[in-house]
Structure 1
């Protein structure tokens, strides 16, 4: 019995080792093949999806860029949710009741049963992974190259695009909501930096319908919240002056799921608390 267990364990180790390198032995570039581990793990995710019930709750604010990012994903996947309003304008996010839910005082907070998640991008990836086979296919991990390209553009949005566009949205859209003055010196300085980023986007979008591939993915969706606000500001010209960027923006903001994500009346109509 002991020896058969050892042999079985040895065979398992050998099979695991072979699964990582066989393509090199056959002269095939591993980056061109499907990701074995990912698809094996995904079978588990898909079995969980079949048993999953849509009982999501979101603590958020319908004007919040980060809340809208998650709502867009839910609508792309055709999922329902129970919205719980955290009025940022009234300072609800800093009150003890909400801080007990998220001590960072930020929205959204996403509840899936006893699971609580914060950070809009982490929430979005969780939803897309749980509901991989449903609705729009927002993540594409068919090969290492596709995975790498999509991850790269998601990171570019987070580290290059979002910091600049968040400043511009704050100065030109959010501050006026609170009766605060826009700092146009900051706007001008930030726009100069954004122009350089958009020049890179223009070159990419000349060659590809969307950022990560020729289909709409999470990499594009992540850009939507700040773009939506900036289309009503003077910064809009930076997008419109670049033909490929202009075409891309027009396509992504026209998506029905995004329009529903921006529907403030629908948020309050769904509100049950």
Structure 2
């Protein structure tokens, strides 16, 4: 099998979402670095792959896909018969997986990504954290975490009893939040969420990907 190609950066949360999916599905891949600090994402060759000048972009032969959740879904569908089943076996499991992928994108990610930007990425580039923004977004995030905690009260994973794309989609930003953004204390206030995080972050795929940076 010829390797697929990801155009991105190892430290990018969205790039990590795609790489983790490939690891779970046992699909060979290569990563071509697109250095945001040098403006490589705004150059014509990358804009031909990703017209909005973002990362990652993905190529599988003649197939070109961008947007990390769409890429992950493509990988999960094309290589459905190998590696981890990330979509769900029954119609109900698939619907629940899709639901929580959407919840992550629409409810979980907005406050969390803002906090991580403030606590991790801005200081990385010599800029100052705005603690007022962090406090506001943490309040929003905790309302979301309360919903997750109730949902996970009788479940090991978001779609029920099996690890899926829904869980995987949470890994990259939550890892930055817990390990670099001071978020461990917040997650521990929600015991079902914390237990779920311990389960999903211990997977070999994520251990490998998180060690890349």
TM-score normalised per structure 2? 0.95
User: Residues 39-188 of structure 1: matches in 2 within 5 Å?
Assistant: 53-143=1-91, 145-188=92-135
CA contact (8 A) 1:57 1:110 kept: yes
Alpha-carbon distance in 2 for matches of 1:103, 1:177? 27
SS at match of 2:58: strand
CA contact (8 A) 2:49 2:66 kept: no
How big is the alpha-carbon RMSD for the aligned residues of Structure 1 and Structure 2? 1.3
* CA-to-aligned-CA distance 1:183-241 (integer Å, 9 cap, x gap): 11110000001000000111111110111111111110000010010012223211111
Alpha-carbon distance in 2 for matches of 1:151, 1:213? 13
Alpha-carbon distance in 1 for matches of 2:46, 2:122? 23
Q: CA deviation at 1:263?
A: 2.9
Q: How many pairs align?
A: 212
Q: CA deviation at 1:169?
A: 1.0
- Partner residue of 1:189? 136
CA contact (8 A) 2:123 2:129 kept: yes
CA contact (8 A) 1:89 1:178 kept: no
SS at match of 2:70: helix
CA contact (8 A) 1:110 1:123 kept: yes
- Partner residue of 1:252? 200
Q: CA deviation at 1:141?
A: 4.2
Find the partner of 2:163 among 216, 221, 236: 216
Alpha-carbon distance in 1 for matches of 2:154, 2:168? 19
Q: CA deviation at 1:103?
A: 2.1
- Which deviates more from structure 2 when the two are superposed, residues 67-76 or residues 134-143? 134-143
- Which deviates more from structure 2 when the two are superposed, residues 109-118 or residues 228-237? 228-237
Query: Could you list the runs of 5+ residues in structure 2 that have no partner in the other structure?
Result: none
User: Residues 231-242 of structure 1: matches in 2 within 5 Å?
Assistant: 231=178, 232-242=180-190
Alpha-carbon distance in 1 for matches of 2:2, 2:13? 23
Larger Rg: 1
Alpha-carbon distance in 1 for matches of 2:173, 2:126? 20
Query: Could you list the runs of 5+ residues in structure 1 that have no partner in the other structure?
Result: 1-52, 266-273
